[in-house]
Structure 1
Amino acid sequence: MKFTLSSTALSGKLNALSRVINSKNSLPILADFVFEITGNKLSLTASDNENTMTTAIELNEADSDGSFAVNSHDLLEAVKGFSEQPITFEINNNERLAKIVYQNGHFSLPIESTDEFPKMQDVTEDATQITLPDSILAENINRSIFATAQDELRPVMNGIYFDLTPDCLAIVASDGHKLVRNKIFTVKSEQPASFIMPKKPANLLKSILGKEGMEASIIFNSRNAKIEYGDTQIICRLIEGRYPNYSSVIPQSNPNQLTVDRSTLLSALKRVQPFANGSSNLVRFHIEGSTLQLDAEDYDFSKTATESIMCDYNGMPMNIGFKGSSFIEILSNFECQDINIQLADPSRAGLVLPTEQPEDQDVLMLMMPMLIND
């Protein structure tokens, strides 16, 4: 079997696929890329036994159909430095070798049969499908994934929750201390459905989704999801279990409202937060009139910091504590100029919203306060 293709096209696809492969694998063949040639099309596959990613490349020429597996690390190292040029694979199944020929030389790698490569179960039974623009899916995954947990006792919190309702598609992530809820009003269904996507396939989607005006399709049932985007397909095993009722923790009325420039507050927090206590990371917000004062202290090491910034505040004077590093993460995952912070009292959750919502969306982030000693 012999086929020719573009070196840069191959290198780009292999780099994307390599993110699926684990450093340690339960089966030796899971360290391989699978090549499958059908007609003038090459399908490339990588898997970790829970996530399988497949992508396709048009071949310049091919003399027959067939398949083989080759070690991912060896092949990536060999092709990553190539300039744009045609490269030819000559497959010798008897000697179990792939000879790769390029402009100034060639190299050979051992190949394996694909018979032992695991096949992910396709999503067919009782499946629900949603379709949305790639840019919106990418934005919402980027905005949410930082808020997922690392909790062995509550695995449902370790993924991103997709909640399809008659009103919208809600994309939610929470670690119990902070929460992100995105509503997309252009995607809805009279038949409610939901699933929890693990972080790894979410990160794989982050790496391939662009802003090219294409659409991504998600087909899911109770166990698996299949995401189709352009010439790439990801099949992933979902996190099983019931996600907590996220709506119940979102306050319906926080009367004290603070509007502030996001970049200004983010910069001030980054300066003050390193002075906070190492274990609690507590930063005190003192809000009164048109001034927001940030205070951090670590008396064990005789460190303190204070900074004041201008704001627009409509409410009673308040002292409230937040975890500085988490608030920095929240501010970093907005793109708007001004944010609105809605507060009730120092013991109840604070809401952070953009002053201008994205079109046909509603974005909300929530932070639980920390106890402060006045």
Structure 2
Amino acid sequence: MKFSIERAALLKAVGQAQSVVERRNTIPILANILVEAEGDQVRFKATDLDIEVIDSAPAQVERAGGTTVSAQTLHEIVRALPDGALVAIEEDQAQGRINITAGRSRFQLQTLPKEDFPVMASSDYAANFSCPAPVLRRLFDKSRFAISTEETRYYLNGVYLHVAEGEGGRVLRAVATDGHRLARVDADLPEGADDMPGVIVPRKTVGELRKLVDDDEAQIAVSVSETKIRFATPEITLTSKVIDGTFPDYARVIPQANPRTMEVDASDFAAAVRRVAIVSSERSRAVKLSLDEDRLILSVNAPDSGTAEEELAVAYGDEKLEIGFNAKYLEEIAAQVDRENAVFRFNNAGDPTLMQEGGDASAIYVVMPMRV
């Protein structure tokens, strides 16, 4: 194998692929990235056995071939090279290494045979459809904050992507919850997604997918089976196992008749919560909301550190209400609002609260109260 490639193209491709590699590996080959040169392309493949990323970049290939090399070391070398450098990479099979040349810089890295590199088993996908990058980005960005980090409830460690009945018909829906807060986000159902099985996309996969959906013009090819999900652009393919578990019946925890409504400027609300929470106890992070006619008082009373209070003008016309929340949960939910106003719907101090963006019901959030 022998090829030359622009440093920028190499950095982008290696960076995308190596990010799935786990830093600590008991299997040496999993710390490596598979490099394959053929035609006018070089492919870079990395895996942790649950996720596989393949990225390709244009190159001048003199001799086709492939090998595996340390993902982290290769990435660090390419990052350190000067902008605009032309990088030449040549495999020395006899010595079991590759030679990397860029300007006056020379590197030699040990390799492992490409035959030892694990291959993710292929899957027969039940549904194949195309989705604009901004749509996928919205689905996952607005729900990912609610993913549970509690490993014992592994079935909550991802985003539940499925087809559901929305207000205007069938929708593509993403749901995440950790038992304290819930996010439910809907998008128009893409053509070809009707038969898609519901799958739980793992937290790490959601993070890797974020890099594919940055381009507003991109169309993402999505393939889903009972055990795997694949996202692909012309340059990058991300394949992941899905979480083998049953997502709970989230509809049961979404309040249907919370009669008390508060409308507030979302950014002002988030900033006020952030300020009063500074003095809250590190353990509970509790903030009290006191609601009266067109007025909200946010307050914190932490015996160990002090007190804080801030008043906001809101649209509220119901009877007085005092209710407490975890400040972090309120901040994260308010941060999801793209529109100017957030609408909170309350029942009483002990029941879940519903929040949505203005009159848009395609994204709703539920947060459990706490005693203050």
Interval of TM-score (by shorter of Structure 1 and Structure 2): over 0.9
Hey, what does 2:237 align to over in structure 1? 233
Given residue 316 of structure 1, which amino acid in structure 2 is its aligned partner? E
Hey, what does 1:196 align to over in structure 2? 200
Contact 1:272 1:307 in 2 (8 A): yes
The correspondence for 1:212, drawn from 198, 216, 228, is 216
SS of equivalent residue, structure 1 residue 63: strand
Contact 2:6 2:85 in 1 (8 A): yes
Hey, what does 1:325 align to over in structure 2? 328
Encode CA deviations 1:177-198: one digit per residue, 9 max, x unaligned.
1000001124375436200010
Q: TM-score, normalised by structure 2?
A: 0.94
Encode CA deviations 1:184-222: one digit per residue, 9 max, x unaligned.
124375436200010001100112321331111221212
Per-residue deviation, 1:368: 0.7
Hey, what does 1:316 align to over in structure 2? 319
Contact 1:29 1:117 in 2 (8 A): yes
Hey, what does 1:304 align to over in structure 2? 307
Give the stretch that moved more between structures: 246-255 or 288-297.
246-255
Hey, what does 1:161 align to over in structure 2? 160
Per-residue deviation, 1:356: 5.0
2: CA distance between counterparts of 1:316 and 1:187? 43
Encode CA deviations 1:259-312: one digit per residue, 9 max, x unaligned.
11111111111111122233222211111011100111112x151111111011
SS of equivalent residue, structure 1 residue 348: coil
Contact 2:270 2:335 in 1 (8 A): yes
Given residue 18 of structure 1, which amino acid in structure 2 is its aligned partner? Q
Q: Figure out how many residues of one structure are paired with residues of the other and give that number.
A: 366
SS of equivalent residue, structure 2 residue 257: coil
Given residue 171 of structure 2, which amino acid in structure 1 is its aligned partner? C
Per-residue deviation, 1:334: 2.2
Give the stretch that moved more between structures: 76-85 or 339-348.
76-85
Hey, what does 1:80 align to over in structure 2? 79
2: CA distance between counterparts of 1:356 and 1:154? 33
Name structure 1 gaps, 5 residues minimum.
Answer: none
RMSD over aligned Cα, in angstroms? 1.6
Contact 2:333 2:365 in 1 (8 A): yes
SS of equivalent residue, structure 2 residue 143: helix
Given residue 30 of structure 1, which amino acid in structure 2 is its aligned partner? L
1: CA distance between counterparts of 2:205 and 2:219? 17
SS of equivalent residue, structure 1 residue 80: helix
Give the stretch that moved more between structures: 197-206 or 93-102.
93-102
SS of equivalent residue, structure 2 residue 57: strand
Contact 2:126 2:196 in 1 (8 A): no
2: CA distance between counterparts of 1:351 and 1:171? 17
The correspondence for 1:268, drawn from 265, 272, 280, is 272
Contact 1:122 1:235 in 2 (8 A): no
Contact 1:123 1:220 in 2 (8 A): no
